Amino acid sequence: MTYAETIQYLYEAAPLFQQIGGAAYKDGLENTLTLDRHYGHPHRHYATIHIAGTNGKGSCAHTIAAILQASGLRVGLYTSPHLVDFRERIRINGEMIPQDYVVNFVAQERAFFEPLRPSFFEITTALAFRYFKDAQVDVAVVETGLGGRLDCTNIISPILSLITNISFDHTQFLGDTLAAIAREKAGIIKPHTPAIVSEYTAETRPVFAAKAAEEAAPITFAADLPEVVGLERGQDGRALYHTRHYGDLHVELCGDCQRHNTNAVLHALPILSRHFTIPIEAIREGFARVCELTGLQGRWQTLQTHPLLICDTGHNPGGWQYLSHQLSEAAQRHRKLHIVFGMAADKAVDSVLSTLPSEAEYYFTAASVRRAMPAPEVAQRAAVYGLKGNMYANVAAACQSALHAAHRDDMVFVGGSCFVVADFLTAWQAHRLSARRHR
């Protein structure tokens, strides 16, 4: 099979959660443990760092990987979902897994894993862990897919467990209270292994503290000990953080939520320094060049400046509490705000819509996945909150319309769903979108 045929086979043989949602979810670790035994427990051959959370885990994972990479280490990075290419999920020092490795893995191993009827994520995790072993990484930064306790990444024995923001998402699997969701995320805390919690509420802190006590794991609540003591925003869109112990850091990821993520990463560094030499220059480089070093996309990502074009993968109320504030601020600095917007049908759509700025012009659309809410339904529900605009058959058409309508001093934002951003970046990278840049 070719690479394209191999990826299509994986999508068809093992349903992809980002395409169909809950029907692709498998509860339990039986398949994961079977696959792990078959491949000789590859994750035991390198150090691991485990990251869970509702929002922020991807940014923290990429930033830690960037810092370790800048320190001269060979760093594996396993994240999800991908936006344009499946191989974004599995990287070493920013380079995606080779197509040939994916093709050969499936060709050689499908006779073993097909009878197990594994999920897409179970196969992908086994592939990542074995690739990291074969490529002889020093350390792998591993992001959970969903939850923590029963997530198939939770077979590793990390040197650090980090838990970011907890908010309502995937409640049908993780529970409908913050405490229940926190219990699932806390499942990555391991015996005698340092744990860091980025943010907490009165409801979630006791859950994390109890799990850490049960595992005799030293725990740090990063919000109690702020490393970030000041923030400035530059004209280039980047942020300058004033920190307690690391001086001033130029930070490429400048979304409002990143202050919490940066604080958590800075608390992780002393723990990681017990295992690796991490120069201050590497810390500065990792924060300043995280996207370039690791390939991260979709976090308040600027694609062009006239008109300003930004996309962000925030897709739940926890993420949008920051995005809505940032959009409202941006609207005051630009002539007009254009928002290309769509959501997955299984998300808290009304909770997000209620936070969006009413002064923007909206371009309602649906991503090319079965989970996407149809554009007419998004528009209808948005109207309840005074949000007005037109509907478009696909993301590319919505973005094209927004870019053509925008004055050079306007701002265009694309978001609401990882899938909307994925469709947008696919079209953008294929040069199917253009703007009138000199109006």
Helix axis angle for 30-38 and 120-134, nearest 10°, is: 30
- If pLDDT is split at 50, 70 and 90, which confidence band does 433 have? low
Q: Mean pLDDT over all residues of the chain?
A: 90
CATH hierarchy code of domain 301-428: 3.90.190.20
Left if phi > 0, otherwise alpha if psi is -120 to 50, otherwise beta: which for 366? Answer: beta
49 or 334, which is more confident: 49
Q: Rounded mean pLDDT of 286-306?
A: 93
* Ranges 251-255, 401-405, 428-432, most confident: 401-405
Q: Comparing C-alpha atoms, which of 65, 28, 14 is closest to residue 155?
A: 28
Is the pLDDT at 22 greater than 70, yes or no?
no
The 3-state secondary structure of the chain, one letter per residue: CCHHHHHHHHHHHCCCHHHHHHHHCCCCCHHHHHHHHHCCCHHHHCEEEEEECCECHHHHHHHHHHHHHHCCCCEEEECCCCCCCHHHHEEECCEECCHHHHHHHHHHHHHHHHHHCCCHHHHHHHHHHHHHHHCCCCEEEEECCCCCCCCCCCCCCCCEEEECECCCCCHHHHCCCHHHHHHHHHHHCCCCCCEEECCCCCCCHHHHHHHHHHCCCCEEEHHHCCCEEEEEECCCCCEEEEECCCCEEEECCCCCCHHHHHHHHHHHHHHHCCCCCCCHHHHHHHHHCHHHHHCCCCCCEEEEECCEEEEECCCCHHHHHHHHHHHHHHHHHCCCEEEEECCECCCCHHHHHCCCCCCCEEEECCCCCCCECCHHHHHHHHHCCCCCEEECCCHHHHHHHHHHHCCCCCEEEEECCHHHHHHHHHHHHCCCCCCCCCC
- Model confidence at 23, pLDDT cuts 50, 70, 90, reads very low
Q: For residues 259-277, give the mean pLDDT.
A: 96
Given a cut of 50, whether residue 250 has pLDDT beyond it is yes
Residue 35's alpha-carbon distances to 99, 117, 129, in angstroms, are 21, 11, 11
Q: How confident is the model at residue 18 (pLDDT cuts 50, 70, 90)?
A: very low
The answer, as to whether pTM is greater than 0.95, is: no
pLDDT in tens, 76-131: 999 998 999 999 999 999 999 999 999 999 999 999 998 988 889 999 999 999 99
Whole-number pLDDT of residue 170: 45
pLDDT tens-digit profile of 24-36?
Answer: 445 678 999 999 9
- Cα 83 to chain centroid, rounded: 10
The pLDDT of residue 318: 73
Per-residue pLDDT averaged across 133-138, rounded?
Answer: 98
CATH class of this structure's domain 3-294: alpha beta
More confident residue, 22 or 342: 342
Quick one: pLDDT at residue 434?
60
Q: What is the pLDDT, as a whole number, of residue 21?
A: 43
pLDDT tens digits along 156-192: 999 999 999 887 554 455 656 888 889 999 999 999 9
pLDDT tens-place string over residues 184-219: 999 999 999 999 999 999 999 999 999 999 999 999
Domain range list for the chain: 3-294, 301-428
